[in-house]
Structure 1
Amino acid sequence: MSDLPPGDADHGLFVAPVVVVSHTFPARPGALPDAELFVREALEPVVLEQAESAALYDAITAAMLAAAGPDNGAFDVTVRIFADDVEVEVLHGASRRWLGTSPRAGDEPFGAWLEAVLARQGLSQEAAAQQVGVSVRTISRWLHGDTEPRLRDLRRVHAVFGPPAAG
Structure 2
Amino acid sequence: MRRVQLDVDEERLPPDLASRLVLYGIPAAVGVVAVWQQWRLTDPGAIGAGCALMAGILFTAFTQLASLRDRLEDRHESIGESSRRLFRETAAHLLVGALASATESIVLIVASGVRAHPDDKMNVASTAIVLPIAVYVFLLFIMAIRKMYAAYLRVFEGGRYLRATRKTGR
TM over 0.5: no
Instruction: Tell which has more relative contact order, 1 or 2 (C-alpha 8 A, sep 6+).
Output: 2
Superposition TM-score tier, normalisation by shorter sequence: under 0.3
Higher strand share: 1
- Structure with more of its chain in helix, by fraction: 2
